Amino acid sequence: MLGVIVAHADWGIDPRKRWVAAAKGNVRDGWLASPASPMPDGSDLRSRIQACSDDEQLLVGFDFPIGLPRAYADRAGVRSFLDLLPRLGQEEWAEFFSVADLADEIAVNRPFYPRTAQRKGAKRQVHLTTALGMSMSDLRRRCEHRQPDRSAACSLFWTVGGNQVGKGALAGWQMLQAHPSNTIAYWPFEGPLDELIKSNQTVVAETYPAEFYGHLGLPRVIGKRRQASRAALAPRLCEVAGDLGIQLMPKSRAQIDDGFGATSHGEDAFDAFVGLVGMINVLSGRRMSGEPPDDQYVTSVEGWILGQHAVTHTVVGPMAMPLVVRPQSRD
């Protein structure tokens, strides 16, 4: 069988905070995982995933939002996120990537705020909701609303604070913009995950490492900034990797046992690896991809977080069928 590369990128505003973990293989024969490493600069996604060659299928997960809230999309007249993506930064969307610094700079075509925090209380979420004419709840996607085991996520458009994701999304979208639309397939916008992997050479999905923690039997609160806390989870990480048929290279095992090192990038390497295992857990059928089957907004403008249930309560049911990836003819 042709190789399949599954890669997970822990993404950050600072390029030094971008780490990637990758594994090659398939559901039937198992996987060989490489150590997490800094994500290099490259002209395209495949060059950034060092283990990926031109004749291999690639599924890559990014932990930044890929999509827009439905209420905002309706207000902006957006019917398709993928149609909008290449237009961002141009013409009527020329200021989209410029984060507003003043409340009166916020507009539907410039919705990210604020550029800097300045003194406490100077920048307030009410500035954003007033300017856009929507509540903070309206400025969250369906997958970002409160869950039984998780608080609501920060709105994509609010760009200060420890849990903000907006600036990372802007950097990520600009990176994705550099790729012609016919070179990448986006889940779930363009179809179910198994179909996309079978029919496309490069597939991109949105991930959230903290979502995967629960899937893999890790505690929801990890203290991942501490090396000792990460190292304490090594037995569980190795156990679940083994259950999924993931063989660890010696350097990979050493990295896990060491808690991904003592530097400030250890948490990034940790989440890169957890994301990789979480993605393979979905491919194995132990977790469904999770996108709602009957919500047109999810597949047109909002997107979804890989593996997150589409309901707000726990569903106990049969195991999903594994996503069996087979090589495509190159004729």
At residue 327, does pLDDT exceed 60?
Answer: no
Residue 46: its pLDDT value, please?
75
Eight-class DSSP state of 171:
H
Q: Is the pLDDT of residue 157 over 80?
A: yes
- Tell me the two tokens of residue 108: 């539907």
pLDDT of residue 83: 97
Locus of tokens 């849990």: 163
Q: What is the mean pLDDT of residues 117-123?
A: 75
* DSSP category for residue 270: H
* CA nearest to 218, candidates 245, 238, 244, 242: 238
Residue 160, token pair as written in the block: 């200060």
Could you report the per-residue pLDDT of 232-281, keeping only the tens digit for each?
999 999 999 999 999 999 999 999 999 999 999 999 999 999 999 999 99
Which amino acid is located at 278 in the chain? G
- Supply the pLDDT for residue 42: 64
User: How many whole angstroms separate alpha carbon 161 and alpha carbon 154?
Assistant: 9
Portion of the chain with pLDDT greater than 90, in percent: 73
pLDDT of res. 325: 38
How confident is the model at residue 147, as a pLDDT?
A: 81
Collapsed DSSP state (helix, strand, coil) of residue 71: helix
Euclidean distance between CA atoms 6 and 52, whole angstroms: 9
User: What pLDDT, in 10s, does the model give residues 24-66?
Assistant: 999 999 999 999 999 887 656 777 776 566 678 899 999 999 9
C-alpha 282/C-alpha 323 separation (Å) is 8
pLDDT of 314 over the 80 cut: no
Weakest mean pLDDT among 2-11, 56-65, 161-170, 322-331: 322-331
179, exposed or middle or buried, with CB in 10 Å at 0-12, 13-18, 19+?
middle
